[in-house]
Amino acid sequence: MKVDSHQHFWKYHPVKDAWINDEMAVIKNDFMPEDLEPLLEQSGIDGCVAVQADQSEAETHFLLDLLEKHDFIKAVVGWIDLRAKNLDERLEYFSQFKALKGFRHIVQAEPEVDFLLRDDFCSGIAKLADYGYTYDVLIYPKHIRNAVSFVKRFPDQPFVVDHIAKPFIKAQVIDEWAKDMQGFKGLDHVTCKISGLITEADWVNWKYDDFKKYIDVTLDIFGTDRVMFGTDWPVCLVGASYAEVCEILRRNTLQLSAEENKKLWGQNCIDFYKI
């Protein structure tokens, strides 16, 4: 089974979705399951993981409600306030929803570059493993070193780095990102989503080979057992169609065997999120 490990749904609201600026006008619309389903079918993708885009428990319920109505949505990565004093109560409450596999916080938007190392945040992360939850790490390159220290604190917690930590693909800058990402090498509890690449590229003039060296570095660090395909739809639409995003990965991983491709395009995601 091929599974898109990372995509979003939303009903666009200019305040809630203020991160969508005028340059991203193409995604200032509603994006719902009925919009995605034909795209999955056209690209031969069997299912997807719906990931939070808004930091509220209402968002988590919104995604779980969509999953109940659409079989192709296989899992949800929601949001919960990991710094809340009543976190145990909230985790216990959400444990009734078996399709809720983990949580994410939009760390890239936090002003503190060391946000992941905050005591109150780490106290929350420490509770996730008891409930079998995963955690998606959403960061920029400036956060990578702290992220490595962060995941090392929790060797029993499954983590996945979203969007290969958003390297500067448009500028074709790679050295510092590649060096810092090496910190994840050998950390078997940390996986990486090869997703969101087009958002960091030149939206108008990108070429398929712009992504090759970044994908190669990611595969070298994480290996084919710890990587997942993801599109980041509909955010990807700022620069490419769903099919083009799939083709970017396909063209840049032609060296992989059939078994390695099976892992990349679905099996690793299925195993990680226990789908």
Q: What is the pTM of this model?
A: 0.96
Which CATH number does the domain housing residue 121 bear?
A: 3.20.20.140
Q: Is the pLDDT of residue 21 over 90?
A: no
The pair phi, psi for residue 77, each rounded to 5°, is -110, 110
Query: What are the tens digits of pLDDT across the range 161-219?
Result: 999 999 999 999 999 999 999 999 999 999 999 999 999 999 999 999 999 999 999 99
Cα–Cα distances (Å) from 63 to 50, 87, 100, in that order, read 7, 20, 9
Contacts (Cβ under 8 Å, ≥6 apart) of 43: 242, 243, 246
Q: What is the pLDDT of residues 103-143, one digit of tens each?
A: 999 999 999 999 999 999 999 999 999 999 999 999 999 99
Provide the number of structural domains found in the chain.
1
Average confidence score pLDDT of the chain = 97
Q: Assign 187 to helix, strand or coil.
A: coil
Write out the two tokens for 208: 């398929």
Residue 78 has pLDDT above 80, yes or no: yes
Integer angstrom CA distances of residue 23 from 42, 129, 192, 201, 239? 28, 39, 28, 14, 11
CB-facing half-sphere around the CA of 64: CA atoms within 13 A: 18
Domain encompassing residue 220: 3-273
Chain segment 34-75, per-residue pLDDT in tens: 999 999 999 999 999 999 999 999 999 999 999 999 999 999
- Which pLDDT belongs to residue 25? 85
Is residue 76 predicted with pLDDT exceeding 90? yes
Helix, strand, coil percentages, rounded to 5, for the chain: 45, 15, 40
pLDDT the model gives residue 182: 98
